[in-house]
Each structure stands twice: as structure tokens, then as C-alpha cells.
């Protein structure tokens, strides 16, 4: 069963990638969270094994819920068999589960496995959350990982972007507001008067 989801054209290369890992540096209001939530749903519909587990991880659980939970419920609605508002997960008709998590309580993730994960605003997370907790969760099922965010200086997200540049296991994309055409030029100019580059 494949669920066809609409999305912004700038994310088509990401959504059709073959690489196991991905890093997306994207401007505000680009649609990276929507694209990645849809990507979690896409991958869950094509998984051939039973009991798939996927996660969207934000820096804080409250933030992750605010940013991604409604998108997950809306876009997965045609394939939801069950959902839990308190635990922030949906289960698909195929028995796969997609859950919202926060990196502020990383031990909550321990002990589980993942077929795929999205780490949103990774610059605001401790890098050990991925290296010590999430990466081992991907090992036995050869799960995939996507890191998304906006530039915030030299940090863990910056390091991942740099190391991924020449690694064939990684899909990389930098989506600049001045190049995507998603924000009107007049709005970009106006925002430039109030914001730092």
C-alpha cells in the first residue's frame, strides 16, 4: 500500500532519495517538518516487515507535539487504525507505529528499535542523543535517519552537515529562502529589516 502525499517541490529529491541518511538545512517556513512527517508516513506504507517503528524527535516534547502532532494525524488519517493522544502515536492499518518524542527526555527512547527517525531542529539537541541513544536503535533493523533544521552557528547540526558532504551514504540539501521561491521577494526584503541574516 503506497500513500501518495502532496508536498512542496523542493522536497521531491528528499522524498525519493535512496540514501539511508539525510540532512536538510532549510529556511524558516520552507515546509521541512511537513515534508519529513510525510516522509515518515511514506516509508511506513512501503515497509515489508511487521511492527515498523518510526519517530519524529524534536528538541522538547512540548515543541514536537506543537509542531508535528497535528500534521501526523492529518496526513496519516487514511491509514490510521489506532492512535493515542496521550502517548502521541498513530498506528497504521499495517501495524506500524509513528510516534512523536522530545530529546529533552532521551532515556524515554531507550530500549526500543526504529525503522526510521526524523530529528528536527537538531542544532538544539545534545549530539549524544543521536550517538548514544538513537543510532543504536537503528542498528538491528538498518533504520534510516534524517536531520533537519536551520543554521544556528557551529554545533552538532553544523558538524553533521559538514561530515555528510562527501559521504555517499548521505543525501544532503541546502534550501535557502533566496533560492526556493517559497517566500515572496518583498517579504524576504521586509524580514531582512527585522532579522539577522
* Residue 190 belongs to some domain of the structure: no
* Residue 153 belongs to some domain of the structure: yes
* Residue 121 belongs to some domain of the structure: yes
CA distance 157 to 23: 9
Give the model confidence (pLDDT) of 131-185 as tens digits: 999 999 999 999 999 999 887 778 888 899 889 998 999 998 876 656 555 555 6
Query: Are the C-beta atoms of residues 122 and 58 closer than 8 Å to each other?
Result: no
Q: Which residue range forms the structural domain that includes residue 104?
A: 20-176
* Residue 182 belongs to some domain of the structure: no
* Residue 194 belongs to some domain of the structure: no
Of 14-18, 28-32, 105-109, 129-133, which one has max mean pLDDT? Answer: 129-133
* Residue 80 belongs to some domain of the structure: yes
Q: 167: domain CATH number?
A: 3.40.50.300
pTM here is: 0.87
- Lowest mean pLDDT of 29-38, 76-85, 104-113, 169-178, name the range: 169-178
The predicted structure's pLDDT at residue 176:
64
CA distance 148 to 37: 11
Q: How many domains does the chain have?
A: 1
* Residue 135 belongs to some domain of the structure: yes
- From 190, 194, 161, select the one nearest 175 (Cα to Cα): 161
Strand 89-92, strand 80-84: pairing: antiparallel
* Residue 189 belongs to some domain of the structure: no
Amino acid at each position: 500500500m503506497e500513500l501518495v502525499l502532496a508536498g512542496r517541490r523542493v522536497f521531491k529529491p528528499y522524498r525519493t532519495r535512496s540514501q539511508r541518511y539525510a540532512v536538510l538545512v532549510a529556511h524558516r517556513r520552507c515546509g521541512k517538518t511537513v515534508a519529513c512527517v510525510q516522509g515518515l508516513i511514506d516509508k511506513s506504507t512501503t515497509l515489508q516487515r511487521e511492527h515498523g517503528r518510526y519517530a519524529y524527535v524534536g528538541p522538547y516534547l512540548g515543541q514536537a507535539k506543537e509542531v508535528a502532532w497535528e500534521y501526523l494525524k492529518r496526513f496519516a488519517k487514511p491509514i490510521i487504525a489506532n492512535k493515542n493522544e496521550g502517548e502521541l502515536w498513530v498506528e497504521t492499518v499495517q501495524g506500524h507505529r509513528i510516534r512523536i518524542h522530545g530529546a529533552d527526555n532521551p532515556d524515554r527512547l531507550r530500549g526500543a528499535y526504529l525503522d526510521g527517525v526524523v530529528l528536527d531542529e537538531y542544532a538544539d539537541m545534545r549530539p549524544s542523543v543521536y550517538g548514544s541513544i538513537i543510532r543504536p536503535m537503528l542498528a538491528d533493523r538498518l533504520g534510516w535517519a534524517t536531520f533537519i533544521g536551520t543554521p544556528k552557528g557551529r554545533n552538532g547540526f553544523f558538524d553533521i552537515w559538514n561530515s555528510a558532504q562527501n559521504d555517499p551514504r548521505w543525501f544532503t540539501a541546502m534550501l535557502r529562502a533566496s533560492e526556493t521561491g517559497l517566500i515572496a521577494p518583498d517579504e524576504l526584503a521586509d524580514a531582512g529589516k527585522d532579522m539577522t541574516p
